[in-house]
Chains A and B, each alone.
With several copies, the nearest count.
Chain A
Amino acid sequence: MSLSVKLEVFEGPLDLLLHLIEKNKVDIYDIPIAMITEQYMEYIAAIKKEDMELMSEFLVMAATLLDIKCRMLLPKEVNEEGEEEDPRAELVERLIEYKLCKYMSYELKDRQIDAVKSLFKKPTIPGEVLEYEAPVDYEQLIGNMDLEKLNRIFKAIMKRQTDKIDPVRSGFGKIEKDEVNLEERMSAISEFIRRHKFFSFRELLENQHSRMDTVVTFLVILELMKTGDIRISQEKLFDDIMITSNVAAA
């Protein structure tokens, strides 16, 4: 046998094994393991030992083949169902799978030959199309907004603005920054919700003028929502937040 065949032409040990099986025209399901192993060993003995990584993959397969060869000589192993186990079974399965993969790769290669002959083009979208701006759809833009709602929004903003200015303190030259106590506010509101069944967020904010007050009150409300003591609802954007207490005395 000529050993001029370089191992590199094989994609791996499975490829080499398939080659040997085909060359010897043997049944893949009944591999004459002794013969194939011998030929396999001859091949790998002939290759250069430079590429250790490639080599190791071939050596692993060599070990597998030798192992199968030994097991073929021993009495057949029997599995749980009492069936004899063919020591070659796993290798055969791998070879079949690999063979399928090879077969598919040839198929792909064939398809590529024709496929590359179809040319595509880059987008050429006319300038008029690219520059087009859809006219404003006012129906969609305005939605169900109307002047009355716009007026409500306006009033809400103006109220927010006056709320920000403390009528008494703004008279002072300098506004003292006072700390808002979260716990204090919490207990005050907890007390409030026991006495009131239904009220609005804005009611809670009465006499609270600093932004900090508002924030703390809001945090308390969130906390009470989490504990399930209250439920809140807001009909529309900018509407007052309505609060229903779950712990109020009936």
Chain B
Amino acid sequence: MNEDVNIPEEGNTEPEAFEEKKRAVKVKHPEAVIEAVLFSMGNSVEYKKLAEVLGRDVDETVRLTRSLKTKYDKDSSRGITLMELNESVQMCSKVSMYEHLIKIAKIPRKFELSEAALETLSIVAYKQPVTRLEIEKIRGVSSDHAINRLIEYGLIEELGRLPAPGRPLLFGTTEEFLRSFGVKSIDELPSATPERVEEMKKEAEEEAASVYVDI
């Protein structure tokens, strides 16, 4: 693959160097052949190999290929183009086509909040800052998935860590949440005041203590 392919320089026209070309028959429609070859191969094709198929020298092959690329690029009714890579060339879709490709290559995401996510969101909204454990205690079920989903959607975020044993993460709602729910300011929600953090810290400590007692 990585042999020394020497792309012949413009002036290099030694007639003896064309030994292996003796059986090379010039194909009639080189552009069509380049298109068909690059399409069928899918991956990159060395100019050297393409030249063999075209029955032309590498130099001319490069020239033909480049002019084909120019033709593709200039024509807005074309969705494909060529990409030069080292001593090879590959067919690809035009960058301007990506937005359309996305529609067909990607399964559209469904944006919806499950019941679990809504419950979790309401707890975060009204109890923030709140730890994972607290959410789960209130809901009575593990809420990892719902929390991750809400973070992914950008409705809640990590606010920091509670200065308590285990240093659990604290969650709160985001600005996007306020925007989406038409909340003018954070004041409309119980805010994350220092007092609330203190309160939680105490709770967490008590909890930790009670756990020890239980054991």
Contacts and interface: CB of A to CB of B under 8 A. Distances in A.
Per the CB under 8 Å rule, do A and B touch in the complex?
Answer: yes
Interface of A: 11-15, 25-30, 53-54, 57, 61, 94, 96-105, 107-109, 111-112, 114-126, 128-130, 132-134, 136-138, 140-147, 150-151, 153-154, 157-158, 160-161, 164, 237-238
B102 A129 contact: yes
B20 to A, nearest CB: 12
Closest 7 CB pairs of A and B: A115-B182, A27-B208, A12-B141, A104-B122, A117-B98, A154-B122, A105-B118
Interface residues of B, number: 65
Interface stretch (B52-60, B68-76, B88-96, B162-170): B88-96
Contacts of A15: 140
A231 B200 CA distance: 45
Interface of B: 7, 10-11, 36, 39-43, 81, 83, 90-95, 97-98, 101-102, 105-113, 115-116, 118-119, 121-123, 125-126, 138-142, 153-154, 176, 179-183, 188-190, 192, 196-197, 200-201, 204-205, 207-208, 211
B106 A134 contact: yes
A124 B118 contact: no
A101 B123 contact: yes
A112 B207 CA distance: 29
A158 B92 contact: no
Given A25-B211, A115-B179, A57 B140 contact: yes
Given A12-B141, A97-B138, A150-B181, A136 B208 contact: no
A123 B40 CA distance: 5
Contacts of A28: 204
A153 B139 CA distance: 11
Contacts of B181: 108, 111-112, 115, 142, 145-147, 150
Nearest to B44: A120
Given A27-B204, A57-B141, A105-B118, 13 more contacts: A15-B140, A96-B197, A100-B200, A104-B123, A107-B122, A111-B182, A115-B181, A120-B179, A124-B40, A129-B40, A143-B10, A161-B138, A238-B118
Contacts of B10: 143-144
Contacts of A97: 138
A59 to B, nearest CB: 12
A140 B183 contact: no
Contact of A107 (B11, B93, B189, B207): B189
A109 B141 contact: no
B103 to A, nearest CB: 10
Contacts of B40: 119-121, 123-126, 129
Contact of B207 (A25, A133, A145): A25
Given A115-B180, A126-B98, A132-B106, A108 B122 contact: yes
23 contacts: A11-B115, A12-B140, A25-B208, A57-B142, A94-B140, A101-B119, A101-B126, A101-B192, A104-B123, A104-B189, A105-B122, A107-B190, A108-B118, A108-B122, A111-B181, A118-B95, A120-B91, A124-B39, A124-B40, A124-B92, A137-B111, A138-B176, A146-B181
Nearest to A128: B98
B43 A123 contact: yes
Contacts of A115: 179-183
Given A11-B116, A146-B181, A146-B182, A120 B121 contact: no
A14 to B, nearest CB: 4
Nearest to B106: A132
Contact of A119 (B11, B101, B125, B141): B101
Contacts of B7: 140
Contacts of B43: 120, 123-124
Contacts of B116: 11
